Amino acid sequence: MTHGSGRPLVLVLAGLLALTLASWALSHVELGSTSVAIALAIAAVKAGLVLYWFMELPHATLPARVVGLVTIAFIALLCGGTVTDVVFR
């Protein structure tokens, strides 16, 4: 897929909307302690789509990529801590 046409952006938008719908639907299902992990996984995929397509991280300069990757690593650390807190509570 290239950035020349609007089709990839429409597909990414449709994917984001589908993931939002899935997140909303799963919030109404009792999944026990796995619900937090599933919600965080869906949020991570959505954030990845935004970073890749809308922020165009692959086409950014090296310092911008490093900042993006450090940010992702920090958010992953926070999500891991959240899941650990919920599981061991």
The predicted-structure confidence for 41-58, as pLDDT tens digits, reads as follows 899 899 889 888 888 888
Q: What's the pTM value of the predicted model, to 2 decimals?
A: 0.69
The yes-or-no verdict on residue 23 having pLDDT over 90 is yes
pLDDT value, residue 2:
52
Overall size of the chain counted in residues:
89
Domain contains 2 = no
Nearest to 50 by CA among 12, 10, 80, 88: 12
Q: Tally the domains of the chain.
A: 1
Nearest to 50 by CA among 13, 22, 8: 13
Note down the domain range covering 28: 7-87
Nearest to 3 by CA among 44, 62, 81, 59: 59
Q: Mean of the pLDDT values across residues 71-77?
A: 87
The yes-or-no verdict on residue 1 having pLDDT over 70 is no
Domain contains 13 = yes
Domain contains 1 = no
Domain contains 68 = yes
Q: Mean of the pLDDT values across residues 60-80?
A: 88
Would you say 32 and 87 are in contact if contact means Cβ atoms under 8 Å apart? no
